[in-house]
Each structure stands twice: as C-alpha cells, then as structure tokens.
Structure 1
Amino acid sequence: MEFDTAQIMTAGETMVAAASAFVVSYAFSILGAIVLIIAGYIVAGFVERSLAKTLGRMRSFDQTLCRFLSKTARYAVLILVGVTVLAQFGVQTASILAALGAAGLAIGLALQGTLQNVAAGIMLLVLKPFRVGEYVDAGGTAGTIVEIGLFATELKAIDGLYVLAPNSELWNKSVINYSRNKDRRNDLVIGIGYDDDIDLAQETMMSLAQNDERVLADPEPATFVSELGDNAVNVTLRYWTATPDWWQTRLDLTKAAKKAFDEKGISIPFPQRDLHLITAAAEVKTTAA
C-alpha cells in the first residue's frame, strides 16, 4: 500500500510539474493570443466602419456593393487574426492556409453558378448599365428595375408581373436601357393614299409637332416620304422628346394626326389588291394563236 501511495504522489507531482512548465511556457502565448483576438475584433470593426463610411461618401457607389465590400474586409481581418493566433501556439499556418485554399476551391466548384451570379452582380453594381427605376430589356428580360442584388435583380414587367433574373443572365446579354438618355427620338409613320396631296400631309404632321410643347426644337422635327408601299405612300414625322414624355407623346400625336387628316380629306387607305381577270374568250384566242 505504501508503495502504491508513493507512486501516486510521484505521478501527481510529475503532472503538476508538467502543467506548471506548460503554463510557464505558454503563458505569454496565451496572453498574446487573447490580446490578438481582442485587438483583431476592434481592428476588424474599425476597418468595416471606415470602408463603409469612405465608400458611402461616393454618390456613384452602390450601397449594396458598399456593404458587401465592408463585410468582406471585416472577415478577411478576422481570418488573418485567427491564423496569427494559431501560429502563436506553434501550429503550422502553411498547412492551415493550404486547407483553407482547398476548402475554398471545393466550395467554389460546388457553388459555381452562385458565385458566377455574385461576380456578375458586382460588375453590374460597378459599371451600372442600369439603375433602380430604369426600364431595360436584356435579351428578352424586360421591365423596370426594382432592386439590384448580389445574386439576382428584381424587375417589374410592363404588365405588372414580378420578374427575378439571375445576374449572370443579365450580364451576359446586350442591355437596352430605355431610360438612361434624357432625350429619345421617334418616327411616326402614317400611310396616305397615292391620290392624296403629299405636301399637305407633310405640312399637317409638321404643324402637329411644332404645336406640341413636348416635342423638342433641337434637334428640329422633320417630315419626309419614307416609302412607296404596296397600299400607301408612307409619310414619316421624325421628332425628339424628353425620355419620360416619349410614350404619351407618340400616342397623342398618332391620334391628332388621324383627326387632322380626316379634317383635310387626307385618306389612310386599307390594304388593297388589284385583280386582273382573263375572260374565256381571251384564253381561246390565245390557244388558237
């Protein structure tokens, strides 16, 4: 029994000595790790707030991208702090970085489509081919932009339907922005009969444009004969308006032109076909000859 007690006491003393040596050896490492963690959280928060504040001052910089970049900077600082803390205890950081790289590669392959949308979302937010409130058409996806996110863009179609388009689809297509430029041209084409007065039709259409305040004086409106069609002579009124007035001006001028042509006796003909009948007598004569 005495032998067993002595062994236990010896083992206990050995453990205490080892623990004491461990504490003495790693006391500064533990203290340094605690200081690094506290300082890292403070610095990460400072970097996030500073970057968000700096980018927020730029009026042309999108707020969604601002939040994304500031959060990314914060997590980058925290990851750097974590690797540094592990290095304090003798952990090989090279293997950790390699493992993080492999994990990142695996996640990237698994989320390839999602990351593609994120990359496209960043490009859309930076280059700004469209903004919230603008009406666009990107490869058949058309509507008014409601929100541009990192993964997808929300649109409202012209008939009020909700449209959610992946950013990669919008980025890889040609975008027609109907709202970006302040002025927009329209060609109002109306066909008149071949027996009608072309000059009178042109004067009538020009008068309508000049009397409409929404039609811009510069560039100056113009009228011309654009085509000699199968059924009518097409007379074109070319004019410019402010972009917000384009659609309603087109509708109003089309209606006003119809009324003005009716008052002045200018016809707008229906599609016509000329039929040539060959009599039986003519066929017999042709056969005999």
Structure 2
Amino acid sequence: MSFSQSFQEILPNVLGRLPSLIAAVVTFISTLLLSGLAARWVKKTLKLKRDNPDLIVLLCQFARWAILLLGTLLSLEQINFDITSFLAGLGIAGFTIGFALQDIARNFVSGILLLIRQPFAIGDAVQVAGTYSGEVLDVNIRDLVLKTWDGERVIIPNLAVFSNPIINYSEQPKRRRTIHIGIGYGQDIQAAMRVFLKTLQETAGVLAEPAPAIFAEELGDSAVTLVARFWVNQKTHGPLDVHSDAVLAINAAAEAANIDLPYPTQTVRLEQL
C-alpha cells in the first residue's frame, strides 16, 4: 500500500475527529486561563482576610490544580476517551499508593488544618504534647520547627502537633508567676505576709492589676509555706527576669525585717542500746 493510499484512508477519519480535537484544545486552553484567574482571585481574597503566606500559597495551588484536572477530564471526554475506566484504574492505584503513604498524607492534612486554625505564629513560645517547648521557627504543611530553650532545633511532624495539646505562652500578654516561701514557726506570719506583699508591689514589672497576692499554703515540717502569686506583662518585661527580681527582693526584705527563712531541718536522735 502506497503512502498516498494510506493518507487517503486516514484523512477522512482525521477530518471526522477534527471538531472534537478543536473542542478539546479550546477546552484545555480555556482551563489554563481559568485556573490562573482562579489562583489570582484566591490570593487576592485571602490576603485581605489572613496574614498566612503558606496557607495562601497552598490554597492558590489547590484551586489551580483542581480546575486543571477538571479541564483535562473534559478535554479527554471531547475526544471520546474512556474516562470511567481511567478513573477506576486511577482509584485502585491511588488506594494502593495512599495506603503506603498514609502517614505522609495524614501529616499533610494536619498541616493544612494547622495553617487554617493558626494556634500559633512564627516567634511564639509554645509547648507541644507536653514534651517539646521552645520558640516556633517555622510552620509548614509537613512539620513544625521549634528552637528549644536549650538552643536545639526540633522538627515535629504535624500529625503529632495536631493530635496533642498545644500551650501557647505568647498568645496572652499577661503571665502569672508563683513563689513558695518558708517562714519559721516562731515568726509573726501575718506581719511577714504584709512585708512580702509590699515588696512584690514595689518590684519593677509586677502588675498592679491583677494585684499580687500572698497566701498561707501549708504547715511544713520546719516552716509555714507561703505562696506568692503575681502577674507580669510579657510584652514589656521578661517573666523570668521579674521572677528573679521578686525572689531577690523578698529575700532582702526578710533580712531587713529579721524574718527567719529556715532551711529544711531533720532531727536525728541517737540512743545507746
């Protein structure tokens, strides 16, 4: 069979399919344009409502690829491609791959939920799962990066972050601190409490509201235990710095007022048998 004969046999088939091919190409090009417009619209809309670059990029890409996938399927349908069989095969393959990569997928979904909920931001001091504490260095769709108080860099999978309690120490401006003080049994406890309360009120960084307070907590073996509680605005003062200043001030006030702060004591009695 000559080339001209083959061409003559193929040409009618090509011409018959030409409208479908043109429709498929037009559909796909329109999808490309529409996906770009959708991504820009999502980006513009979210920028007005959220200050989260990672989430904005993620949703823009999701909108773009969702429209591209839909447009590709519509284009294939224009040329009589068996989409049903293709999707069935894709579903089986997707199930197999998804089962193998389920941990990665769960971390991915957890990352999306964390980006949407935003329980913390870059620079916040947090505790995750009761184990890891530190400053948030990075939050993405795969993991959380912390810098611990010892300067170590810890990478925590998002699934562990999302499924465990999170304490955000930076979200509220006011932090409460507690100091335990032991007073000797021979002392005037109420007078000592007034001295220590006045000392706290005069310590720099201790907030006037909520007001500091001192309570008698328990009768110990060698002392009456007092509990001093006060609040610090961590936006203006370091809670640990104010805590240290308060301890030193209480110790100095006790020495000035001759208030006994006894060491724990234990009586040992020796008897000769």
- TM-score tier, shorter chain, comes to over 0.9
Structure 1 residue identity aligned to 2:69: I
Q: Distance in 1 between matches of 2:90 and 2:63?
A: 17
Map of 1:4 onto structure 2:
none
Q: Is the 8 A contact 2:76 2:83 kept in 1?
A: yes
Map of 2:98 onto structure 1:
108
Q: Is the 8 A contact 2:32 2:68 kept in 1?
A: yes
Q: Is the 8 A contact 2:204 2:242 kept in 1?
A: no
Whether 1:150 and 2:141 are equivalent positions in the alignment is yes
Q: 1:250 aligns with which of 225, 243, 249?
A: 243
Map of 2:41 onto structure 1:
50
Aligned positions of 1:14-29 closer than 5 A: 14-29=5-20
Aligned-residue RMSD, C-alpha:
1.7
Map of 1:239 onto structure 2:
230
Shift of 1:279: 4.9
Q: Distance in 2 between matches of 1:220 and 1:197?
A: 23
TM-score (norm 1): 0.87
Deviations 1:124-166 (A, max 9, x none): 1122222211111112011111111101011110011111111
Q: Distance in 2 between matches of 1:222 and 1:16?
A: 97
Q: 2:203 aligns with which of 212, 222, 247?
A: 212
Structure 2: any 5+ residue segments left out of the alignment? none
Whether 1:75 and 2:75 are equivalent positions in the alignment is no
Q: Distance in 2 between matches of 1:162 and 1:13?
A: 71
Shift of 1:188: 1.4
Deviations 1:65-109 (A, max 9, x none): 221111011111111121112111111111122223223222211
Q: Is the 8 A contact 2:203 2:245 kept in 1?
A: no
Deviations 1:39-84 (A, max 9, x none): 111111111111111112113x522122111101111111112111
Q: 2:86 aligns with which of 96, 100, 111?
A: 96
Shift of 1:212: 2.7
TM-score (norm 2): 0.92
Structure 1 residue identity aligned to 2:190: D
User: How many correspondences in the alignment?
Assistant: 270
Shift of 1:12: 4.6
Whether 1:141 and 2:98 are equivalent positions in the alignment is no
Q: Distance in 2 between matches of 1:101 and 1:70?
A: 25
Q: Is the 8 A contact 2:175 2:232 kept in 1?
A: yes
Map of 1:127 onto structure 2:
117
Structure 2 residue identity aligned to 1:234: T
| Other structure's SS at 1:235 match | strand
Structure 1: any 5+ residue segments left out of the alignment? 1-7, 281-289
Shift of 1:251: 1.0
Structure 1 residue identity aligned to 2:81: V
More divergent stretch after superposition (29-38 vs 152-161): 29-38
Q: Is the 8 A contact 1:201 1:235 kept in 2?
A: no
Shift of 1:257: 1.0
Shift of 1:213: 4.3
Whether 1:221 and 2:185 are equivalent positions in the alignment is no
Identity of aligned residues (%): 32
Q: Distance in 1 between matches of 2:42 and 2:93?
A: 28
Map of 2:259 onto structure 1:
266
